[in-house]
């Protein structure tokens, strides 16, 4: 049965964020079958009256994959701009074809932090998302890395996903990563246990281990993921951190099965 909100209202809108590590293998290559499974679940939910917004990372790694001989420039900012500008249409080609296989349409919405400034910028974003959702089109969001000013980027796409969830008044935010959720120790440590549920004031930050990411492997980390999850939950939007490589993970969460770490008020 579909999970209902605390108010008893059925779930109608969700935001799903997919991290770089979810959609790549250990050789940093995009895995088509994973994208396909994610889209299949979004299509299933659509058939059952639930609209999704997908926030997908991956443009930088997708661009790097194409430019396998490397770039002439060593400047970090230029490299990110070039890789993402090349990789973003590749990501969209995957998604466009996959949604089309389900008879669905998707659209690209790239944003910079300024687009969420209160006032006409934010209103314009609301307009765009509401316009797409009203047409039954699945918005696929990402930071516009090619033109984002490096001093004012989102912390990462977890932050973008949270802002979108707030913007469209989502009933739920799902942050998909490459671990099953938040553990009370290092996720590779056999002693560590998954924390199934936490509340915004639970002091769990101590459990987070810093991870070193290579170029193009995404910007986030569990620290920012947890911060974003708590901030979003404070807005009364239940937020889940779960494993995007696990089969049926999105539909399991929406149907109230106990997967991942649920963060609530
Ligand atoms: N306590 C913890 N529980 C779960 N994962 C953790 C923890 N501490 C650090 N991590 C690390 O956080 C990583 C996921 O965050 P991140 O790299 O930002 O993913 P993404 O690219 O999906 O945004 C995992 O690969 C894991 O190694
Ligand atoms: N906007 C970048 C991803 C930035 C980011 O937050 O990455 P991740 O931590 O893997 O979600 C891209 O498309 O490659």
What interface predicted TM-score (ipTM) does this complex get? 0.97
Please check if 75 is assigned to a binding site.
no
- Determine the pLDDT at residue 10: 87
- Determine the pLDDT at residue 215: 81
pTM summary value? 0.96
Alpha carbon distance 42, 136 (integer Å): 12
- Determine the pLDDT at residue 213: 78
Q: Which residues line ligand 1 (CB under 6 A)?
A: 19-22, 177-179, 182-183, 187, 207-209, 211, 218, 220-222, 225
Cα Rg of the chain, angstroms = 18
- For 34-87, the pLDDT digits (tens) are 999 999 999 999 999 999 999 999 999 999 999 988 899 999 999 999 999 999
Total structural domains within the chain? 1
DSSP character for 61? H
Ligand 1, atom 17, lies closest to the CA of 221
Alpha carbon distance 15, 253 (integer Å): 12
Q: Which residues contact 100 (CB under 8 A, 6 or more apart)?
A: none
Ligand 1, atom 4, lies closest to the CA of 182
Ligand 1, atom 9, lies closest to the CA of 209
Q: Calculate mean pLDDT across residues 128-155.
A: 94
Alpha carbon distance 39, 54 (integer Å): 9
Bigger pLDDT: 8 or 2?
Answer: 8
Nearest C-alpha neighbor of 225 from the set 14, 34, 19: 19
Mean pLDDT of the chain: 94
Rounded to the nearest whole angstrom, what is the distance from the C-alpha of residue 237 to the centroid of ligand 2?
A: 22
- Determine the pLDDT at residue 152: 81
- For 151-180, the pLDDT digits (tens) are 888 999 999 999 999 999 999 999 999 999
pLDDT grade for 150, boundaries at 50, 70 and 90 = confident
Q: Tell me the C-alpha to C-alpha distance, in Å, between residue 114 and each of 38, 146, 225, 260.
A: 29, 14, 21, 32
133: CATH: 3.40.1160.10
DSSP character for 107? E
Q: Calculate mean pLDDT across residues 189-201.
A: 97
Rounded to the nearest whole angstrom, what is the distance from the C-alpha of residue 255 to the centroid of ligand 1?
A: 24
pLDDT grade for 8, boundaries at 50, 70 and 90 = confident
Parent domain of 252: 13-264
Q: Is pLDDT of 6 > 60?
A: no
Rounded to the nearest whole angstrom, what is the distance from the C-alpha of residue 198 to the centroid of ligand 2?
A: 25
Sheet of 172-177: strand order equals 106-111, 138-143, 51-56, 13-18, 172-177, 239-243, 261-264, 197-199
**Is residue 213 in some structural domain?**
yes
- For 219-241, the pLDDT digits (tens) are 778 999 999 999 999 999 999 99
**Is residue 7 in some structural domain?**
no
Residue of 18, 143, 187 best suited for mutating to test ligand 1, as the one with most atoms within 8 Å of CB: 187
**Is residue 1 in some structural domain?**
no
């Amino acid at each position: 049965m579909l999970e209902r909100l605390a108010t008893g209202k059925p779930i109608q809108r969700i935001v799903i964020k997919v991290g770089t590590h979810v959609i790549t293998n250990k050789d940093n290559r995009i895995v088509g079958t994973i994208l396909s499974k994610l889209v299949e679940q979004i299509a299933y939910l659509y058939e059952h009256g639930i609209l999704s917004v997908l926030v997908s990372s991956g443009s930088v790694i997708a661009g790097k994959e194409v430019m396998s001989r490397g770039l002439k420039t060593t400047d970090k900012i230029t490299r990110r701009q070039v890789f993402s500008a090349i990789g973003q249409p590749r990501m969209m080609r995957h998604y466009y074809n996959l949604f089309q296989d389900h008879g669905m349409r998707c659209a690209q919405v790239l944003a910079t932090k300024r687009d969420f400034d209160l006032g006409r910028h934010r209103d314009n974003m609301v307009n765009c998302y509401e316009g797409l959702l009203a047409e039954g089109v699945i918005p696929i969001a990402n930071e516009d890395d090619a033109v984002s000013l490096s001093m004012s980027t989102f912390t990462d796409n977890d932050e973008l996903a949270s802002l979108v969830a707030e913007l469209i008044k989502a009933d739920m935010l799902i942050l998909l990563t490459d671990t099953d959720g938040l553990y009370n120790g290092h996720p590779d440590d056999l002693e560590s246990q998954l924390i199934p549920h936490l509340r915004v004031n639970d002091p769990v930050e101590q459990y987070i281990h810093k991870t070193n990411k290579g170029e193009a492997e995404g910007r986030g980390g569990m620290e920012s993921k947890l911060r974003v999850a708590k901030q979003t939950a404070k807005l009364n939007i239940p937020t889940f951190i779960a494993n995007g490589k696990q089969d049926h993970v999105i539909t399991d969460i929406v149907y109230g099965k106990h997967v991942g770490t649920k963060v609530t008020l």
